[in-house]
Amino acid sequence: MNPLSVLRDSLYFFRRNLASIIQLCLPLVVLESVCKQLIDQAIGAETSPAYDVLVGLLFYPLYTAALILFLDARSRGHEPQKRDLLATALRLWPTFALLAAMSTLLIMLGVSLFVLPGMWVMIKLVFAEYLLVLRGLTPLAAMRESFQLSQGHFWRILVCILSVLAPLWLLDGLSMMVYPEPQTPALALVLDSVSSFLQLFTSVVLFRLFMLIAEPVAGSPAQ
Residue 220 has a pLDDT of: 47
Quick check: is 81 in a domain?
yes
pLDDT at 59: 96
Give burial (CB, 10 Å; 0-12/13-18/19+) of 74.
middle
What is the spatial distance between Cα 143 and Cα 96, in angstroms, rounded to a whole number? 12
* 191 found inside a domain: yes
Banded model confidence at residue 182, pLDDT cuts 50, 70, 90 = confident
Q: Give the whole-angstrom CA distance, residue 111 versus residue 89.
A: 29
The average confidence (pLDDT) of the chain is 89
Give the domain extent around 44: 3-218
Model confidence over 8-65: pLDDT tens digits?
A: 999 999 999 999 999 999 999 999 999 988 888 877 656 667 788 889 999 999 999 9
Note whether residue 223 is domain-resident: no
How many domains would you assign to the chain? 1
| Per-residue model confidence (pLDDT) at position 61 | 96
Does 30 map to a domain?
A: yes
Q: Is residue 208 part of a domain?
A: yes
pLDDT (tens digit per residue) in 114-130:
667 778 999 999 999 99
Q: What is the dihedral of CA 152, 156, 160, 161, to 10 degrees?
A: 40
| Displacement of CA 70 from its chain's centroid (Å) | 14
- The mean pLDDT value for 147-171 works out to 92
Q: What does each C-alpha distance from 52 to 5, 81, 122, 130, 153 come to in angstroms?
A: 34, 30, 19, 23, 31
| Range of weakest confidence among 3-7, 138-142, 203-207 | 3-7
Q: What is the DSSP string of 45-85?
A: TT--HHHHHHHHHHHHHHHHHHHHHHHHHHHTT----HHHH
Residue 66 lies in a domain: yes
Is residue 41 situated within a structural domain?
yes
List % helix, strand, coil for the chain (3-state, nearest 5): 85, 0, 15
188 vs 111: which has the higher pLDDT: 188
Report the C-alpha gap between 142 and 62 in whole angstroms: 18
| 8 within a domain of the structure (yes/no) | yes
Residue 94: name the closest of 139, 142, 33 by CA: 139
For residues 68-73, give the mean pLDDT.
96
User: Model-level pTM?
Assistant: 0.91
Q: Do the beta carbons of residue 205 and residue 10 sit within 8 Å?
A: yes
pLDDT of residue 68: 97
User: Residue 126: helix, strand or coil by DSSP?
Assistant: coil
